[in-house]
């Protein structure tokens, strides 16, 4: 038979190279076990509604009305929907041309982009231009679009934090670029040292790689740290000196669990720095409806804002966006609702505040329970989750466990996580999926299981972990801290 177009050997090599651990081996095994009837606690993806978080009522009411605009003419609509939801639905429908069923402008509905710009002005204190805001089907799509625009070939490098969210490594391999890692320092609460950045760039350059962009994830995924203003301005200065575009993944900006270090956007810091930085440094920042107290992952809504990107490049990015026609319209409305929430005095305001506060406060408690739980376990150390949705404990695996993993043909942390899954049903992601220093092992869990289930989960984890350590730790030797 003639060779076929889709024979494995003939596939795009860049596709084969892609690794995406969040939905990798562990996830597949967990799904299998679930099919066999085992109770699985999915803590592998930041997917709050899957773990029982209820959607905020008001945005769902508005979008339901936009889906079924004929309800707006029904005299009984007021029996089921509050007046402010009805008014808001009419507002969004008036911003569309053809309701939820029509393609919008490829950059998103102009009126919604205006609402995003207004939000950015309120948040940062600096004006934002709706023409430089593009709505996307989730932040991932935006990140991929920007990386695709930047990367020309294997000699183009992108600075990415390690540990990192594997979207970045996956997208960079897919587009055939080179990931240039910079390591976050675990002992300094996953801090970022600008000298390391310089080293990373010089080393890359010796290999013939031109570093063209730098990714920061703030608050960090999987590491949960919040970057300080001082740190951010160092980073921006560095990008200025090196001529790098900064990609600011700020999707967890609502998820802050301590008061010492609130979220501060890269854009605000950049503008505060004034010229030449504020006029020169190219910045793209990303946001989403999937995270925060919204957690509307299934909607696939997001945006990116471009700063100091030349108009001709913006045109090119627009052109590529137009090939996909438009982001989905219901999610654009969710985005509008997220950036333009209810105000005091609105009928639904109190309920909205009650719901959103409830979620955030509970997440804050869960972050604490989880960190403390991990730190109470044998050979486990864990930084506090300052922000985002994850806990990223280090597991100090004994040499015997590492050997056992090797003979099972598994990476040590994968081995550990699989055992954890089989024993407890807790589905995590091994640290190797995010990158970690050699010889050091982690796992990532979300802090999303319901608050009332949390103590039992941590207890079951502790029981497994301590038993595992007992089994493999006869010599009391640790893997390197």
Which span sits near another protein by CB under 8 A: 65-73, 217-225, 357-365, 396-404?
A: 65-73
Identify the sign of the CA torsion 201, 203, 204, 210: positive
- Residues 97-101: contacts with CB under 8 Å, at least 24 apart: 99/66, 99/69, 99/329, 100/66, 100/67, 100/329, 100/330, 100/333, 101/329
Query: Is the backbone of residue 396 left (phi > 0), alpha (psi -120 to 50) or beta?
Result: beta
Q: Is 230 in the site for another protein (CB under 8 A)?
A: no
Residue 265 Cβ vs another protein, minimum distance, rounded to whole Å: 19
User: Minimum CB separation from another protein for residue 336, in Å?
Assistant: 14
Closest distance of CB 268 from another protein, Å: 19
Alpha carbon distance 63, 91 (integer Å) = 11
Structure tokens at 312: 């001709």
Site string for another protein, 378-417 (x = CB under 8 A): ----------------------------------------
Interface segment toward another protein; rule CB under 8 A; list 178-186, 309-317, 407-415, 453-461:
309-317
Contact region for another protein (CB under 8 A) — 122-130, 294-302, 348-356, 465-473?
294-302
Q: How far is the CB of 12 from another protein (least distance, A)?
A: 4
Torsion of CA 359, 288, 163, 154, to 10 degrees: 170
Among 193, 242, 355, 451, indicate the residue that binds another protein (CB under 8 A): 242
Binding mask 339-378 for another protein (x = CB under 8 A): ----------------------------------------
Q: Cβ 397 to another protein, closest distance in Å?
A: 27
Indicate the residue among 100 and 401 with the shorter CB distance to another protein: 100
| Binds another protein (CB under 8 A): choice among 156, 186, 305, 473 | 156
Residues 104-133 that bind another protein (CB under 8 A): 104, 106
Quick one: the chain helix, strand, coil %, rounded to 5?
A: 50, 15, 35
Paired tokens of 48: 């709050």
Q: Report, in Å, the least distance between residue 399 CB and another protein.
A: 33
Query: Which positions from 42 through 61 interact with another protein, judged by CB under 8 A?
Result: 45, 47-52, 55, 57, 60-61
Q: Please pick, from the candidates 159, 213, 367, 377, the single residue that binds another protein as defined by CB under 8 A.
A: 213
| Residue 352 in tokens | 């909205």
Among 1, 36, 259, 407, binds another protein (CB under 8 A): 1
162 and 434 in contact (C-beta within 8 Å)? yes
> With binding defined as CB under 8 A, does residue 222 bind another protein?
no
* CB closer to another protein, 6 vs 480: 6
Neighbouring residues of 108: CB distance < 8 A, sequence distance ≥ 6? 133, 134, 135, 136, 303, 326, 327, 332, 335
CA distance 188 to 66: 48
Rule CB under 8 A: say whether 216 interacts with another protein: no
Does position 170 interact with another protein (CB under 8 A)? The reply is yes
CA gap 311, 335 in Å, rounded: 25
Residues in CB range of 337: below 8 A, 6 or more apart: 58, 59, 62, 63, 88
Among 25, 126, 149, 425, binds another protein (CB under 8 A): 149
Are the CB atoms for 182 and 229 separated by under 8 Å?
no
Contacts to another protein from residues 253-282, by CB under 8 A? 276-277, 280, 282
Label residues 135-147 b or e (16+ Cβ within 10 Å = b): bbbbbbbbbbbbb
């Amino acid at each position: 038979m003639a060779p076929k177009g889709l024979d494995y050997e003939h596939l795009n090599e860049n596709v084969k190279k892609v690794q995406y651990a969040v939905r990798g081996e562990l996830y597949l095994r967990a799904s299998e076990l679930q099919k066999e009837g085992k109770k699985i606690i999915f803590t592998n993806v930041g997917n709050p509604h899957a773990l029982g978080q209820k959607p905020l009522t008001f945005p769902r009411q508005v979008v339901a009305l936009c889906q079924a605009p004929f309800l707006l003419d029904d005299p009984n609509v007021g029996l089921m929907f509050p007046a402010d939801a009805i008014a808001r639905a009419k507002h969004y429908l008036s911003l569309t041309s053809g309701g939820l069923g029509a393609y919008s402008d490829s950059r998103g509905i102009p009126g919604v982009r205006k609402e995003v710009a207004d939000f950015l002005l309120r948040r940062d204190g600096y004006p934002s231009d709706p023409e430089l805001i593009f709505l996307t089907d989730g932040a991932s799509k935006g990140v991929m679009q920007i990386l695709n625009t930047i990367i020309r070939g294997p000699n183009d490098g992108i600075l990415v934090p390690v540990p990192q969210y594997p979207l970045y490594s996956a997208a960079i391999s897919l587009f055939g670029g080179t990931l240039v890692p910079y390591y976050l320092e675990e002992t300094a609460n996953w801090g970022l040292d600008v000298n390391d950045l310089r080293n990373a760039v010089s080393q890359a350059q010796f290999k013939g790689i031109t570093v063209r962009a730098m990714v920061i994830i703030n608050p960090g995924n999987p590491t949960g740290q919040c970057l300080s203003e001082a740190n951010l301005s160092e980073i921006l200065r560095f990008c200025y000196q090196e001529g790098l575009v900064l990609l600011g993944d700020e999707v967890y900006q609502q998820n802050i669990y301590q008061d010492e270090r609130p979220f501060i956007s890269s854009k605000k810091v950049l503008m505060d720095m004034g010229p030449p930085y504020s006029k020169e440094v190219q910045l793209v920042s990303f946001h989403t409806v999937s995270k925060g107290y919204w957690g509307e992952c299934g909607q696939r809504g997001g945006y990116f804002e471009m700063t100091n990107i030349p108009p001709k490049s913006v045109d090119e990015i627009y052109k590529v966006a137009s090939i996909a026609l438009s982001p989905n319209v219901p999610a654009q409305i969710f985005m509008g609702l997220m950036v333009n929430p209810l105000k005091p005095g609105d009928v639904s305001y109190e309920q909205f505040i009650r719901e959103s506060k409830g979620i955030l406060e509970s997440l804050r408690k869960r972050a604490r329970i989880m960190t403390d739980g991990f730190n109470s376990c044998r050979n486990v150390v864990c930084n506090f989750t300052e922000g985002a949705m994850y806990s990223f404990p280090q597991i100090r695996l004994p040499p015997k466990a590492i050997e056992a993993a090797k003979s099972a043909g598994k990476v040590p942390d994968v081995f550990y996580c699989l055992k954890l899954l089989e024993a407890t049903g807790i589905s995590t992601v091994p640290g190797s999926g995010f990158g970690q220093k050699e010889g050091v092992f982690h796992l990532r869990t979300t802090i999303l299981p319901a608050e009332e289930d949390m103590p039992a989960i941590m207890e079951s984890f502790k029981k497994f972990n301590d038993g595992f350590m007992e089994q493999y730790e006869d010599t009391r030797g640790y893997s390197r801290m």
